[in-house]
Chains A and B, each alone.
Chain A
């Protein structure tokens, strides 16, 4: 039998001014099932809460309705109070008399009637409430970080420094990412590798950090706190324990002309190679697609010269399965290539390059050892044109967004060029200058005022080659739209930042949402920038949206903090308002017929299949089963179920029908 207690709050004048609380409390007393109904000035205050707690004990209440403000305000307050009195907190509901009634209607009988109605609705619901208990899910305290650029390294180090195990997986042979390719970073013009390599080494040495390079995520199963990740460690064709990193094999490889990825195609490498001198781990890898032995069965020079006999031509990929509690996605970005620009030559002019290629030219460890040389003929470029916003903010190129970092790195490139060639001419064609970080605008002003870079506000409509030079046709819109034609020796396009190749496939493997540009989707753009809608998977860095190094590092630490919070307890507690599939005795087992419409409707993949077997092992029925650890309690499955076999605790069909019945 229901014994419901109703507590009507005046909230000072907030409710009391327009709703006759005493009258409401009085007529509620007559509702069947209500054994106690009072009103009070401030229900959420200490004395108010004490009133409730005492009433629970005194009247043996089986349910409580607090008629006051919005449940979004004080539901936790009153549920905690009720729990202290020994009643299950989920047997307490709130009727919203303030935001939905007293504050939006004038003082009238209709208002008081509405208040009474709202209370009766919740009383009927509470009669059908069941005691619920928070769900506990165990947590494996090992994190997986996907991506070994600065974001991944920072997040991994932060998590490792909290004392938790971390596995850092990077698909290229070395960690470091795009930051290792940069020559100097804005706004300080720090040497990029100088500030990065200490972190890379720390990552390799940290006792809590396991580095898996030249490896990719093959498969992910499970849920928050309880993931199972299968990693494919691609074969380097090397016994890493024997390899000392001496590099002899790389100097003896007969293949010399393979365009190398680290130098963005401007340099050459062999088939057995270390991506760059400061690579971590500093061990080579064999590029099977280009290796003479794999293509024609001859060579094996590297094996012959290796002093420790570390080369293993027959090595296979290895699959490793790990138990993981949380995942940080830090897979970074790529830049649009010059061949996407028909107006700039379809990528056929070697002296029209992108920003990353310029970084390699300017870099002391690059293909020209930092000397400014044109890719076509190696001559020093006397005039360089930098084109900002190449592809970004351009719907026709499919990139309507701003790539954020180009205004700053274009200024940096122009400055680097001028520092190396004092008498050279540098021009920047721009639309706007977006330099909003700390010391950023001063940096751009320095390029203009101290380094004599000429900024022209206008776009470049065409670039073509004439007599070995590039004719750049643009406009100067600040001078009234005058056409400008510059004959340049080198053109650097600040091409759009885009999501990394393979992002869509990775997101689908992880069940993480992504936007139309394949950047991973955060849970809330303002308040939850490092979480995804998939519990236990966090984001760091440019894989979420274009961003610069300071923001990436900050976000990586943020993601690490979320992981640490997750790992701070041995168990996860979750709100029990989850869906449950009903169970009945044999032979029915459940109203569920196994159609799994609910599974496809669930946005969280929280519905699994459960096989009911007979004693002889034969399959009797396949039912849907809700994983309480993943279910977020939206109820879409409930409405989808044809047989009403699934229901949500806290918003069950019984409860809602009961609410409706009172109206």
Chain B
């Protein structure tokens, strides 16, 4: 880990809550670490965990998945599906020997601008300390792209 290592964080967020919350962070001019790249989805329920695997193989050092709070999903139940999938996926990741500390699953509502900034900063600091996620990347690069 060199001093100049800056982690790449990819964030999968839902349009109605977390994306809007991140917009609020912007409107409130709250500053946070710039390592994150946000990908917009209609709902966290849309997230197939193959997408997370792809993100890692493309060089993400850390991933954030964030959606509406339980009971508040714009589409009623998408976030419950996402949470359940996450439970299973986390065990699978563990089993495969992937680093589950690099994925953060959270809820940020459209009103929680400050929380989004806090989350991004926390994750950036944590992933910076873990260092670059080279294991998976190497695996991916040797395989078929």
A residues within 8 A CB of B43? 634-636
One of A108, A533, A657 near B54 (C-beta < 8 A)? A657
Interface of chain B residues 86 through 122 with chain A (CB within 8 A): 117
Query: When A656-B41, A659-B39 are in contact, do A108 and B34 touch as well, CB less than 8 Å?
Result: yes
* Nearest neighbor of B52 in chain A, beta-carbon distance: A660
Say whether B25 contacts A636, CB under 8 Å.
no
Q: Does B129 contact A (CB under 8 A)?
A: no
Say whether A636 contacts B48, CB under 8 Å.
no
Query: When A72-B23, A634-B78, A653-B48 are in contact, do A117 and B37 touch as well, CB less than 8 Å?
Result: yes
One of B6, B10, B25, B27 near A663 (C-beta < 8 A)? B10
Say whether B51 contacts A635, CB under 8 Å.
no
* Nearest neighbor of B11 in chain A, beta-carbon distance: A100
* Nearest neighbor of A639 in chain B, beta-carbon distance: B48
Q: Does B125 contact A (CB under 8 A)?
A: no
Say whether B77 contacts A651, CB under 8 Å.
no
B residues within 8 A CB of A70? 19, 23, 26
Interface of chain B residues 45 through 63 with chain A (CB within 8 A): 45-49, 51, 54-55, 58-60
* Nearest neighbor of B49 in chain A, beta-carbon distance: A639
* Nearest neighbor of B85 in chain A, beta-carbon distance: A639
B residues within 8 A CB of A533? 76
Q: Does B30 contact A (CB under 8 A)?
A: yes
Assembled-state Cα–Cα distance A11/B49 (Å): 36
Say whether A639 contacts B45, CB under 8 Å.
yes
One of B6, B40, B47, B49 near A110 (C-beta < 8 A)? B6
Say whether A651 contacts B41, CB under 8 Å.
yes
Distance between B22 CB and nearest chain A CB, rounded to angstroms: 6
A residues within 8 A CB of B49? 639
Say whether B46 contacts A635, CB under 8 Å.
yes
Q: Does A285 contact B (CB under 8 A)?
A: no
Distance between A445 CB and nearest chain B CB, rounded to angstroms: 38
Assembled-state Cα–Cα distance A604/B60 (Å): 34
Say whether A634 contacts B25, CB under 8 Å.
no
Q: Does A123 contact B (CB under 8 A)?
A: no
Query: When A105-B31, A603-B77, A663-B10 are in contact, do A634 and B39 touch as well, CB less than 8 Å?
Result: no
Say whether A99 contacts B75, CB under 8 Å.
no
* Nearest neighbor of B77 in chain A, beta-carbon distance: A603
Assembled-state Cα–Cα distance A663/B23 (Å): 21
* Most interface-central of B6, B8, B37, B54 (chain A CB within 10 A): B37
Say whether A96 contacts B38, CB under 8 Å.
yes
Distance between A651 CB and nearest chain B CB, rounded to angstroms: 6
A residues within 8 A CB of B78? 603, 634-636
One of B29, B46, B82 near A103 (C-beta < 8 A)? B29
B residues within 8 A CB of A636? 43, 45-46, 75, 77-78, 81
Assembled-state Cα–Cα distance A16/B113 (Å): 22
One digit per residue, 1 when the CB lies within 8 angstroms of any chain B CB and 0 when it does not, for chain A 626-663 equals 00000011111011100000001011010011011101
Interface of chain A residues 73 through 105 with chain B (CB within 8 A): 73, 96, 98-101, 103-105
A contact residues vs B (CB 8 Å cutoff): 70-73, 96, 98-101, 103-106, 108, 110-111, 114, 117-118, 121, 513, 533, 577, 601, 603-604, 632-636, 638-640, 648, 650-651, 653, 656-657, 659-661, 663
B contact residues vs A (CB 8 Å cutoff): 6, 8, 10, 15, 19-20, 22-27, 29-32, 34, 37-43, 45-49, 51, 54-55, 58-60, 74-78, 81-82, 85, 117
A-B contact pairs, 21 of them (CB 8 A): A71-B40, A99-B23, A103-B25, A103-B27, A104-B25, A104-B26, A104-B29, A104-B32, A106-B31, A110-B34, A633-B42, A634-B45, A634-B74, A635-B42, A636-B46, A638-B46, A651-B42, A657-B51, A660-B58, A663-B55, A663-B59
